[in-house]
């Protein structure tokens, strides 16, 4: 079975200059764990729910909620994204993709076509 038949479509992405707050909202709204990051439509990174949690404030902070939201709105996705993106091709089998993800210890990857465009 090929990835193209199992991937999430359409690809949900975020631009690198958008805020961490926008990424959090998009991940929550779309119920996804991995968000490909683009620069003028070209893949340049990924941000995961784990990246966002790591960049969020600790429960031990002394800041109030308004201060936290202000700070989070100033953090850009490009500051917290993973730059070394592992991708899978839409024509790979489920087994090939699973092997790659197990090897790299990741839970998901952007799906690309022959031109390198994000398709899922």
What's this model's pTM, rounded to 2 decimal places?
Answer: 0.84
Question: Spelled out in words, what is the top-level CATH class assigned to the domain 3-110?
Answer: alpha beta
Measured in residues, the chain has a length of 120
User: What DSSP line would sit under 76-96, residue for residue?
Assistant: BHHHHSBSS---EETTSBHHH
- The upper half-sphere exposure of residue 6, i.e. CA atoms within 13 Å in the direction of its Cβ, equals 14
Q: Where are the domains positioned within the chain? A: 3-110
**CA separation for the pair 46, 39 (Å, rounded):** 11
pLDDT digits (tens), the chain, 120 positions: 999 999 999 999 999 999 998 999 999 999 999 999 999 989 999 999 888 888 775 554 556 666 766 777 788 999 999 999 999 999 999 999 999 999 999 989 999 999 999 999
């Amino acid at each position: 079975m090929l990835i193209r038949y199992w991937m999430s479509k359409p690809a949900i992405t975020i631009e690198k200059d958008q805020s961490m707050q926008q990424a959090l909202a998009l991940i929550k709204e779309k119920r996804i764990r991995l968000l490909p990051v683009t620069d003028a439509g070209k893949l340049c990174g990924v941000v995961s729910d784990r990246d966002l949690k790591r960049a969020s404030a600790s429960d031990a902070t002394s800041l109030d909620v308004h201060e936290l939201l202000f700070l989070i709105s100033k953090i850009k996705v490009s500051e917290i994204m993973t730059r070394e993106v592992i991708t899978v091709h839409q024509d790979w089998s489920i087994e090939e993709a699973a092997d790659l993800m197990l090897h790299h210890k990741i839970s998901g990857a952007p799906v690309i076509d022959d031109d390198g465009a994000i398709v899922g």
